[in-house]
Chain A
Amino acid sequence: MLAAVACLGGIGLVAATALGIAAKKFAVEVDPREAAILAALPGVNCGACGEPGCSGYARAVAEGRLAPNLCPPGGQQTAEALADILGIKIKVKEPAVAVVICQGGDNLARQKYHYLGLEDCNAAQKLAGGPKSCPGGCLGLGSCVRACLFGAITMTPEHLAVIDRDKCTGCEQCLKACPRQVMIMAPKTVTTHVLCNSHDKGAEVRKYCQVGCIGCNICKKTVPEAYTIDNLLARVNYAQADNAALAIAKCPMKCIRDLVDNNSAEKPGSDETVPAG
């Protein structure tokens, strides 16, 4: 009994001494700032900065390869903390959030076929260009929901992705997961958006969606500086969007919405009938 304890204890002592010496002798020199930066980062490993994870970004910032304001989940606070560690001054990026530019849920937009396969938008997109008739509409199979590390995306019962603007950190992972580019990044301060992603002609859009942009130009005529029409699809000009909300009531297709002020217009679909097929 005693011999066993002494023997194991002895082995432990020798091993500990050896490990201790090795740790001192072979210690890898780390920039102390790198550890400090890593501690200041949110640690979600989302990859939005372009590095594989937070430790990669911390190293890149310490080495001066990347700017300290590239961490969207951390936002302004982290950027300032990182700048303090580096002892530099930086301009903080305006916070951006993802916006789903589609309102065509199952109740408002047609499907060209009934999809029965894998719950994955990218897989569905490969089958005849996806079940939704609209080439740009949200497929609603939740690839973005699974890609979001912050739980900021939910699916409505009509299979439409909805983003919680408070939870969204702007890491852009959902943009990468979406096969149809239904998500765009927009400044968080702008709340008025054109919620459509179809460049088709108006007559075509009306065939498959009750809330699709038909490129009628009315929004641009109402507030010229706040809207641009890009290939039959209206977009809010985010640099001059102060008065964009004025066009909400004018849009005949009700596809311009204020994402924060829900009372700005009646909800789409409330007074519409459900399309057949």
Chain B
Amino acid sequence: MKLPTFPGGIHPLDNKATTATKALVNCSLPNELIVPMLQHIGAPAACCVTVGQQVAKGEQIGTAVGPVSVPIHAPTSGEVIAIEPRLHPVGRPLPAVVIRPDGDERWHKGLQGYDPDSLNPDELRQLLQQAGIVGLGGATFPTHIKLSPPPDRRIDTLIINGVECEPYLTGDHRLMLEEGSKIVDGILILRQILGVNQVILAIENNKPDAIDAMRKLCLKTPIEVQPLPVKYPQGAEKQLIEAITGRQVPSGKLPMDCGAVVQNVGTAAAVSTAVRQGRPLIERITTVTGTGVRNPQNLRAVIGTPLSHLIEQCGGFSDDPGKIILGGPMMGNSQISLEVPVIRGTSGLLVLRHQDVSIKKPGPCIRCGQCVKVCPIHLQPTVIALCARLGLIERADSYNALDCIECGCCTYQCPATLPLVQSIREIKGAIMEHKRKH
């Protein structure tokens, strides 16, 4: 049987074998946790603690500012030792609360679990916002917003993303194998909030064990497990919708405009924890991997753990590190320091040795059209990059540069090794600024 997929895309080496068979390991607590107030898309949380204050595990240390925002919670019990800008994964210092753990792991009083059947969708949404649940696939968009479609949009399909198409990352894979029942419970709560009938759990067929495990768990539920062929970026929201439903999200529109909502498997598990146990999102699974790490592992780390501590937990560097990337190799961000903390969107930490990082000087574009062929949203990356170089903002906009999802397929494929995504990102910024002005 031919499996459904989306047009375009690439087949990079997945390099998942290193950690795919390794069970989740709890990462120990570091001496100091750095908890940034910005860990989601939207307005940063407002800090609501003071230096010297004792905080309990799960206690709010930052409150949500506005509707598109979520609170931030203390990842463990301890003392607030500083509130100051610290280096953030985005590359510059941003406000953060620094906590020295006391090792007691004392939970905040008043955290209470509920039976989801006893709550209505609005109460559940509010519960999720208060628990700080955001999309754990990496985009960290507040989940309660995604679950609140305007009344004129009819949602008929809930897609659960277990694709994990980024090379190297195996956190979602392990989660499906080890905590599948929690994922299923979370999916059913999400389904209850949206009130949809059709629920599809998508998994790429390079994870046959996860497909089997989830199929067994979903037997008596309305959830349908759909295997997909391996292709990057299948886990991107719009590509996944196209693969599963055949519908294309129109240019400039949201997935809910074509009746679908996509949630990550990690998010589903966090939803279950938040509702059943009342525990906020204070930890996540991070795959620490790459040739530069001595003992690659899937770690369950609390938010705020410095990257240096993750590396330590994995036996240190195996060699002189050449590149340290937060996230996967395709869409992750290179880091300049190991003092950066794990945040809610940190799906992986990839360390490549010097000899594994290829440094090629970009050559001239030979108009081969490879980038056009692989672009999953049918853009012409080479033309947009040319507009960027010449500063043709309106022309770039007419080529729909703003629809670029920055998946990196064009850059990966380019035989001239041109930094196409960076050019497009530059011009996207310019277009946005141009639109604000006019």
**Would A120 and B426 count as touching, CB distance under 8 A?**
yes
* A116 is an interface residue with CB less than 8 A from chain B: yes
Among A103-119, those with CB < 8 Å from B are 112-113, 116-118
Asked whether any CB of chain B lies closer than 8 Å to the CB of A237, the reply is no
Does any Cβ of B come within 8 Å of A39's Cβ?
A: no
The answer to the question of A123 belonging to the interface, with a C-beta cut-off of 8 Å to chain B, is: yes
A6 nearest CB across to chain B (Å): 47
B419 CB contacts on chain A under 8 angstroms: 116-118
A128–B336 Cα distance when bound, in Å, is 8
| Nearest CB of A to B149, in Å | 34
Interface residues of A in 183-225 (CB under 8 A from B): none
Binary contact track A118-139/B, C-beta < 8 Å → 1, others 0: 1010110011110000000000
A123 near B92: Cβ-Cβ < 8 Å: no
**Bound CA span A217–B237, Å:** 58
Interface size on B, residues (CB 8 A): 10
Chain A residues, CB < 8 A from B423: 118, 123
User: What is the CA–CA distance of A53 and B426 in the complex, to the nearest angstrom?
Assistant: 26
The distance in angstroms between the C-alpha atoms of A126 and B91, with both chains bound, is 9
B313 at interface, CB cutoff 8 A: no
Q: Let me know if B336 and A112 touch, CB within 8 A.
A: yes
C-alpha spacing A250/B92, complex, angstroms: 36
Is residue B355 contacting chain A, with contact meaning CB distance below 8 A? no
Q: Which residues of B contact A122 (CB under 8 A)?
A: 426
CA–CA, A273 to B437, complex, Å?
49
* B429 cross-chain contacts in A, Cβ below 8 A: 126
Q: Do A117 and B422 touch across chains, with their CB atoms under 8 A apart?
A: yes
A116-B359, A117-B419 known; A127-B91 Cβ under 8 A = yes
Residue numbers in B under 8 Å from A123 (CB-CB): 422-423, 426
Contact of A129 among B91, B334, B359, B426 (CB under 8 A): B91
> Which residues of chain B are near A118, meaning CB under 8 Å?
419, 422-423, 426
Using a Cβ–Cβ cut-off of 8 Å, how many residues does chain A contribute to the interface with B?
12
A129-B92 in contact (CB<8A): yes
Chain B residues with CB below 8 A from A120, complex form: 426
Within 8 A of B (CB), among A138-166: none
As a 0/1 sequence over residues 416 to 433 of chain B, the CB contacts with chain A under 8 angstroms (1 = contact) are 000100110010010000
**Docked complex Cα distance between A118 and B427 (Å):** 12
Complex contact B91–A128 (CB within 8 A):
yes
Whole-angstrom CA separation of A123 from B423 in the bound complex: 8
- Which residues of A lie under 8 Å from residue B336 when comparing CB positions? 112-113, 128
Chain B residues 386 to 438 lying within 8 A of chain A, measured CB to CB, are: 419, 422-423, 426, 429
Q: Are A128 and B426 in contact (CB under 8 A)?
A: no
Q: B92's contact among A113, A116, A128, by CB below 8 Å, is which?
A: A128
Q: Which residues of chain B have C-beta atoms less than 8 A from A117's C-beta? A: 419, 422
CA distance A116 to B362 in the complex (A): 9
Q: Closest CB-CB distance, A135 to chain B, in whole Å?
A: 11
Instruction: Please give me the residue from chain B that is nearest to A113 by CB atom.
Output: B336
Contacts of A128 in B (CB 8 A): 91-92, 336
A214 to B91, CA, bound (A): 26
Q: In this complex, what residue of B is CB-closest to A133?
A: B336
Q: Which residues of B contact A127 (CB under 8 A)?
A: 91, 334
Roughly how many angstroms separate A16 CA and B265 CA in the complex, as a whole number? 76
Closest residue of chain A to B93, judged by CB?
A129
CB of B364, distance to nearest CB on chain A (Å): 13
How far in angstroms is the closest Cβ of chain B from A93? Answer: 29
Q: Which residues of B11-64 are within 8 A (CB) of A?
A: none
Q: How far is the CB of B290 from chain A (nearest CB, A)?
A: 17
A122 and chain B: residue at smallest CB distance: B426
Q: Which residue of B lies closest to A128 (CB)?
A: B91
Distance to closest chain A CB from B422 (angstroms): 5
Cα separation A126 to B336 with both chains bound (whole Å) = 13
Contact of B422 with A113 in the complex, beta carbons under 8 Å: no
Assembly CA distance A128 to B333 (angstroms): 10
How many whole Å from A111's CB to the nearest CB in chain B? 10
State how many angstroms separate the Cβ of B292 from the closest Cβ of chain A: 15
Give Cα A113 to B322, complex, Å: 10
CA distance A112 to B338 in the complex (A): 13
Residues of A within 8 A of B422 (CB): 117-118, 123
A124 CB, min distance to chain B CBs, angstroms: 10
Q: A128-B91, A128-B92, A129-B91 are in contact. Are A113 and B426 (CB under 8 A)?
A: no
CA of A117 to CA of B323, assembled, Å: 14
CA gap between A118 and B420 in the complex, in Å? 9
Give the docked Cα–Cα distance between A232 and B334 (Å): 32
Bound form: Cα–Cα A213–B219 in Å: 71
Q: Give 8 CB contacts A-B under 8 Å.
A: A117-B419, A118-B422, A122-B426, A123-B423, A123-B426, A126-B429, A127-B91, A129-B91
The interface of chain A, by Cβ under 8 A from chain B, is 112-113, 116-118, 120, 122-123, 126-129
Task: Please list the 4 inter-chain residue pairs (A to B) with the smallest Cβ-Cβ separation, ordered nearest first.
Answer: A128-B91, A113-B336, A117-B419, A118-B422
5 more contacts with CB within 8 A, not counting A127-B91, A128-B336, are A116-B419, A118-B426, A122-B426, A123-B426, A128-B92
